């Protein structure tokens, strides 16, 4: 059965711009497009018809597109919203993303870029309406890496009913007894119901060429994940960089690859997605509490963990957030699950206050 045509509502008071977008989306994209010149007209259209994507200008007669965003979300929670403006400012971007817009771009926008973005957003909207259980694989070099980076995100996935697997590639011998650290990792995984795969590559001496890639490939073949979380490349710890490189190759068939922050991330770590983890920091702290052998570390202390989550929340509507760099992404889990992400509103580098990875 053929998939239904993408339905788009364009909210734009400039008739030439509106007609350009309609012609582009209809003729080149085969989409069904309606036009509205004011926020009230768009709200009325949305009450009559279900849309996949809303393309909205900011400056409009009467209420702006930003002011009407909460009402659009109330009428159609799954609609994907693309905000356009000829006068882009940082404040506009912050407001758009705080009001739950999905994308924010400056005019003029070319036909090819418009088509690509609307198609991506339509896929996002349809994924919201068709919730499915994700298979999530979190990959870390050492015990506690994953929990520090995305512990609260994994807790949100667990609450959404997603299937979780944690792959730890070394025993963490530099940080203490490998037997003890294995038991700690098992206890942490159990907090969120994750399956644990724990391997024994040499701590601090990992190399993608020495079996790491094959280990990742085998885990990917076994788990068949929809999404992977792992280390970013901008990291002072050599094992973290090695794991990142191995995952890039070994998980090349996985559609979604997201990179988390670690205590040894450098100032070049530039997150562009922020996962809302309100209500899940306590679970993250429970996971981290399992690592008794590491409790002397500054970065594992509850006040530091909470402060970090509060800091990253400044880029979203959340009270607490975990930052991620996206290597590639085809979907965002929102509305239909507990896991919500916000797009970055600027490209400033993220500074970290704590060192010492692993």
Tokens of 95: 């407001």
- For position 203, what pLDDT does the model report? 92
Measured distance CA(173)–CA(178) in Å, rounded: 5
Q: Which long-range contacts (CB under 8 A, 24 or more apart) does 175-182 make?
A: 175/142, 175/143, 175/203, 175/293, 175/294, 175/358, 176/293, 176/294, 177/293, 180/292, 180/293, 181/142, 181/143, 181/291, 181/293, 182/143
- For position 264, what pLDDT does the model report? 96
- For position 73, what pLDDT does the model report? 82
- For position 153, what pLDDT does the model report? 96
Cis, bond preceding 108 (omega within 30 deg of 0): yes
Query: What is the mean predicted confidence (pLDDT) over 198-210?
Result: 93
Same domain, 193 and 303: yes
Same domain, 175 and 314: yes
Q: Could you tell me which residue, 106 or 344, shows the higher pLDDT?
A: 106
Let me know: does 164 contact 154? Beta carbons within 8 Å.
Answer: yes
For residue 358, pLDDT beyond 60: no
Percent of the chain with pLDDT over 70: 86
For residue 225, pLDDT beyond 50: yes
- Asked whether residue 188 is assigned to any structural domain, the reply reads yes
Q: What is the pTM of this model?
A: 0.62
In 3D space, the residue among 261, 286, 291 whose CA is nearest the CA of residue 354 turns out to be 261
The last residue of one of the domains, among 94, 129, 164, is: 129
Same domain, 122 and 139: no
The last residue of one of the domains, among 129, 160, 186, is: 129
Same domain, 196 and 326: yes
Same domain, 164 and 309: yes
- For position 161, what pLDDT does the model report? 79
Q: Could you tell me which residue, 99 or 351, shows the higher pLDDT?
A: 99
- Asked whether residue 336 is assigned to any structural domain, the reply reads yes
Between 97-101, 121-125, 175-179, the lowest mean confidence (pLDDT) is in 97-101
- Asked whether residue 84 is assigned to any structural domain, the reply reads yes
Q: Could you tell me which residue, 159 or 185, shows the higher pLDDT?
A: 185
Q: Could you tell me which residue, 32 or 342, shows the higher pLDDT?
A: 32
Same domain, 97 and 186: no
Which tens digits make up the pLDDT trace of 308-337? Answer: 999 999 988 889 999 999 998 775 443 334
For residue 245, pLDDT beyond 50: yes
For residue 261, pLDDT beyond 80: yes
Same domain, 55 and 124: yes
Report which listed range, 53-57, 111-115, 118-122, 146-150, is most confident: 146-150
Residue 332, CA distances (Å) to 82, 127, 133, 336 in order:
15, 8, 13, 10
Measured distance CA(185)–CA(301) in Å, rounded: 17
- For position 355, what pLDDT does the model report? 33
Same domain, 113 and 215: no
Classify residue 12 by burial, with Cβ atoms within 10 Å: 0-12, 13-18, 19+: buried
Residues near 76 by beta carbon (within 8 Å), at least 6 away in sequence = 46, 50, 51
Give me the residue label for tokens 């025993």.
171
- For position 91, what pLDDT does the model report? 61
Domain that holds residue 98: 7-129
Query: What is the mean predicted confidence (pLDDT) over 164-183?
Result: 94
The last residue of one of the domains, among 105, 129, 153, is: 129
Residues near 313 by beta carbon (within 8 Å), at least 6 away in sequence = 274, 319, 320, 321
Measured distance CA(306)–CA(25) in Å, rounded: 44
Which tens digits make up the pLDDT trace of 89-102? Answer: 656 555 555 557 88
- Asked whether residue 348 is assigned to any structural domain, the reply reads no
Same domain, 200 and 335: yes
Same domain, 114 and 68: yes
- For position 334, what pLDDT does the model report? 39
Give me the residue label for tokens 């901008």.
234
Q: What is the CATH number of the domain that holds 61?
A: 3.40.50.2300
β-bridge pairing 273-276 and 340-343: antiparallel
- For position 47, what pLDDT does the model report? 81
Same domain, 174 and 85: no
3-state helix, strand, coil in the chain (%, to 5): 40, 20, 35
Measured distance CA(230)–CA(252) in Å, rounded: 13
Let me know: does 51 contact 81? Beta carbons within 8 Å.
Answer: no
Query: What is the mean predicted confidence (pLDDT) over 254-277?
Result: 94
Same domain, 160 and 249: yes
For residue 341, pLDDT beyond 80: no
Q: What is the CATH number of the domain that holds 281?
A: 3.40.50.10320
Q: How many domains does the chain have?
A: 2
- Asked whether residue 350 is assigned to any structural domain, the reply reads no
- Asked whether residue 171 is assigned to any structural domain, the reply reads yes
- Asked whether residue 54 is assigned to any structural domain, the reply reads yes
Q: Could you tell me which residue, 176 or 240, shows the higher pLDDT?
A: 240
- Asked whether residue 2 is assigned to any structural domain, the reply reads no
For residue 157, pLDDT beyond 70: yes
């Amino acid at each position: 059965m053929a998939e239904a045509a993408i339905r788009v509502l364009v909210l734009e008071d400039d008739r030439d711009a509106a007609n350009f977008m309609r012609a582009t989306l209809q003729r080149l994209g085969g989409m069904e497009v309606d036009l509205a010149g004011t926020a009230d007209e768009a709200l009325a259209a949305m009450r009559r018809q279900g849309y996949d994507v809303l393309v909205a200008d900011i400056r409009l007669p009467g209420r702006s597109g930003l002011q009407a965003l909460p009402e659009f979300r109330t009428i159609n929670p799954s609609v994907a919203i693309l905000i356009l403006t000829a006068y882009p400012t940082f404040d506009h971007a912050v407001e758009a993303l705080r009001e739950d817009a999905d994308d924010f771009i400056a005019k003029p926008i070319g036909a090819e870029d418009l088509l690509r973005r609307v198609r991506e957003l339509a896929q996002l909207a349809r994924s919201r309406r068709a919730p499915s259980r994700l298979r999530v694989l979190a990959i870390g070099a050492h015990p506690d890496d994953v929990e520090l980076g995305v512990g609260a995100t994994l807790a949100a996935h667990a609450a959404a009913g997603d299937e979780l697997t944690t792959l730890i590639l070394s025993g963490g011998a530099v940080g203490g007894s490998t037997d003890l650290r294995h038991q700690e990792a098992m206890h942490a995984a159990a907090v969120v119901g994750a399956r644990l795969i724990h391997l024994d590559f040499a701590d601090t001496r990992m190399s993608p060429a020495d079996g790491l890639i094959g280990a990742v490939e085998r885990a990917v073949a076994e788990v068949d994940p929809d999404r992977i979380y792992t280390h970013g490349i901008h990291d002072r710890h050599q094992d973290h960089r090695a794991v990142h490189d191995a995952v890039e190759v070994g998980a090349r068939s996985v559609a979604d690859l997201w990179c988390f922050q670690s205590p040894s991330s450098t100032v070049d770590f530039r997150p562009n997605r922020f996962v809302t983890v309100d209500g899940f920091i306590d679970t993250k702290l429970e996971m981290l509490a399992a690592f008794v052998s590491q409790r002397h570390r500054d970065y594992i202390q509850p006040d530091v963990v909470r402060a970090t989550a509060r800091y990253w929340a400044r880029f979203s509507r959340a009270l607490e957030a975990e930052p991620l760099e996206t290597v590639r992404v085809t979907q965002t889990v929102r509305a239909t699950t507990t896991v919500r992400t916000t797009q970055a509103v600027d490209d400033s580098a993220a500074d970290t206050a704590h060192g010492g990875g692993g």
